[in-house]
Structure 1
């Protein structure tokens, strides 16, 4: 167990090796073809004495609000799904992510003013919650990358909680999510209660998924149900005990929001988390066959990324590092569309062709798929179940199949 944790620590630390400190120091100019992205940031972190870090991994008093403008290099100079960290300071906007401006906001009224000024015509808002082992700049630049690469037509709002970004401070980070759940609930409520906002998606990664679910659970209990404006909840590699998630789900009292899980059965970070947590399954690496009945009953859609290639050595951040997946988030999920009829033909890959006559979509053949993205969707099961039954009758001669040769 000790060797596993040490190996994980090395892998997690490798991504920060050689990165300069203070990357959030604003630069004066951006590159001609770079993209400017505006973010609203709410955090329960304590301020950092380092001006270029802005906020530390320690716990602050109350919620601090800031408006960021981030410069993202031109698409022909970067890989979709990656954050191009500067190797030295000041950052070069032609090749690096760079901060153009940071404006502290002194009140909720000021934050709502920013939100109203940055709402797109869709009036959609995307609220993102990062995971374990994230520094403040990690959260800001990763969310900027997700928003940009997904091409989401949204006003982006980041909620970032105190993470010391040290692998052996897992329990500190875990307690920090408990410390932050009231603030997260209030942040979401302030967004959904804005009369100009029409649609809200909550997306959370890893340990941040536990924080998001706890905040939504509290909101549902306090107000009787989740606000109707919360149309989508996306949990990516959720570091959540499956039994705890079941309890949280029941407390939501039949939410109208669409829930989507991104899972990877080879997620190395969650494998360690599972050992630390006494061997209980983590939601982000569930065996979809084992939990299919519960997922079908709840209406939760699961997108299994296990077979997808990833530059992430831990297989823990595929949702953000895969160009196909991050585009799927923006083009389909945030817009409230299903993934089974998407432009990348995910639904086609898990259709009738993947099964033999007489096998159901919920059977082994329907779940053990070779497609890079395997979608487990109760609505798809019902649709394809009917197709399979019709195809079976056609083969047996009981009905005429108009598509048969």
Structure 2
């Protein structure tokens, strides 16, 4: 616990070193920079400072804003990181910066933005952040995820009133409770738009509770989650496993595809588990052991275990977005409505995961041995024997015997 507290303190001090008011629009981007055009829906109170926009206090209704974020040229940044300005105004050549901030009045304005922002796939990505997140944190985090993942989706941020304070856990949790109806309403408006074909909902940490509760309400209200919501992604979910089970069952069938990123080295969730009476959090689950292994398979939940990607001195709470290879796979597979598991062949799937995460090697057998992920995907489990058979020879032996192989139990 002392190590966890020290890590949390370092994170807090790092955040305190940033200038305030980073969202004041700069009006233009640097050559080679990329623009992420997003719709932001929030239940936060407006701030007097136009560079802050919204505070961590609560408001009973939703405010809509169109924000365009400039992401520095690739040569000036590392994939998986947000380059925060060290002084104001931000330098778009090296920093994330707001290019424009446009308040939207009424549903018609939001609908107009959505129809212009939809890619050819007609997909929308709705992102819900977690605990201890200020408004600007949420905005820049989604911009980083969308840019680095290459997600082909219109990005929508739902940001609830978090005070951005490590010691306001209970306040933040109650803020998610207060925002359930507003998130549900936003989701209904998106799926009811005739131009939208499919929706992916992604949540991080405490935002997972909010997403699951809103989906549960939708299912209770109309008998099921609307079919346009095809995929749900929970990253490091700060969610009691018993509560999650009750929510998932209440959602009923047919359900969206559900993918969960977990890590047993997630220090933030370890603290949360202590605060919650030592009840296991979904994001800490080892999907290869019982009773979770059988329960997850029976419920069709895909677990992606990132434990082996842990970094010393890190909270290991945002690995899904910080690891360059994982965030890119996130856009290519999960946000696109596919599984991390199924692929034309097991060799291709394992090779894709390992490349760049482990060491780069030439053969399927070597790639398999160095892959640092464990995936429990019911569909992959059923087809594992056939796929391994096609690999043959040394590659097949490596896949079935290596202790660090991508595990498809």
Task: Give the TM-score taking structure 1 as reference length.
Answer: 0.88
Structure 2: segments with no counterpart, 5+ residues: 353-368, 393-409
Alpha-carbon contact 1:346-1:373 (below 8 Å) kept: no
Alpha-carbon contact 2:347-2:391 (below 8 Å) kept: no
Structure-1 residue corresponding to 2:38: 39
Structure-1 residue corresponding to 2:378: 378
Alpha-carbon contact 1:346-1:374 (below 8 Å) kept: no
Structure-2 residue corresponding to 1:336: 337
SS of the residue 1:131 aligns to: coil
After superposition, the C-alpha distances for 1:192-223 in whole angstroms (9 at most, x for unaligned) are 11000001000000000000000000001101
Inter-partner Cα distance in structure 1 for 2:312 and 2:73 = 21
Inter-partner Cα distance in structure 2 for 1:329 and 1:267 = 19
Q: 2:326 matched to 1:348?
A: no
Structure 1: segments with no counterpart, 5+ residues: 351-368, 393-405
The alpha carbon displacement at 1:17 in A equals 3.3
Large movers: runs of 4+ above 6 Å: 388-392
Alpha-carbon contact 2:342-2:380 (below 8 Å) kept: no
- Give the number of equivalent residue pairs: 374
After superposition, the C-alpha distances for 1:294-351 in whole angstroms (9 at most, x for unaligned) are 000011100000101548810000001011111111111122223224599674379x
Inter-partner Cα distance in structure 2 for 1:241 and 1:204 = 15
Alpha-carbon contact 2:350-2:371 (below 8 Å) kept: no
Inter-partner Cα distance in structure 1 for 2:169 and 2:7 = 12
Structure-2 residue corresponding to 1:87: 86
SS of the residue 2:59 aligns to: strand
Inter-partner Cα distance in structure 2 for 1:227 and 1:383 = 29
SS of the residue 1:100 aligns to: strand
Deviates more, 1:232-241 or 1:382-391: 382-391
Instruction: Please give the residue correspondences for 1:386-405 in structure 2 after superposition, counting only pairs within 5 Å.
Output: none
SS of the residue 2:179 aligns to: helix
Alpha-carbon contact 2:124-2:200 (below 8 Å) kept: yes
Instruction: Please give the residue correspondences for 1:145-160 in structure 2 after superposition, counting only pairs within 5 Å.
Output: 145-160=144-159
Inter-partner Cα distance in structure 2 for 1:183 and 1:24 = 24
Is the alpha carbon distance of 1:268 and 1:309 closer, same or farther for their aligned partners in structure 2, counting shifts above 3 Å? closer
Inter-partner Cα distance in structure 2 for 1:72 and 1:147 = 10
Instruction: Please give the residue correspondences for 1:300-319 in structure 2 after superposition, counting only pairs within 5 Å.
Output: 300-310=301-311, 313-319=314-320
RMSD: 2.3
Is the alpha carbon distance of 1:274 and 1:188 closer, same or farther for their aligned partners in structure 2, counting shifts above 3 Å? same
Alpha-carbon contact 1:270-1:284 (below 8 Å) kept: yes
Alpha-carbon contact 1:274-1:281 (below 8 Å) kept: yes
Inter-partner Cα distance in structure 2 for 1:5 and 1:171 = 19
After superposition, the C-alpha distances for 1:52-105 in whole angstroms (9 at most, x for unaligned) are 100000101300000001101011110000000000000000000010100001
Of the two, which has the highest radius of gyration? 1
Instruction: Please give the residue correspondences for 1:106-121 in structure 2 after superposition, counting only pairs within 5 Å.
Output: 106-121=105-120
Task: Give the TM-score taking structure 2 as reference length.
Answer: 0.87
Inter-partner Cα distance in structure 2 for 1:41 and 1:342 = 34
Alpha-carbon contact 2:33-2:92 (below 8 Å) kept: yes
Instruction: Please give the residue correspondences for 1:185-200 in structure 2 after superposition, counting only pairs within 5 Å.
Output: 185-200=184-199
Inter-partner Cα distance in structure 2 for 1:255 and 1:38 = 32
Inter-partner Cα distance in structure 1 for 2:232 and 2:343 = 18
SS of the residue 2:380 aligns to: helix
Alpha-carbon contact 1:237-1:262 (below 8 Å) kept: yes
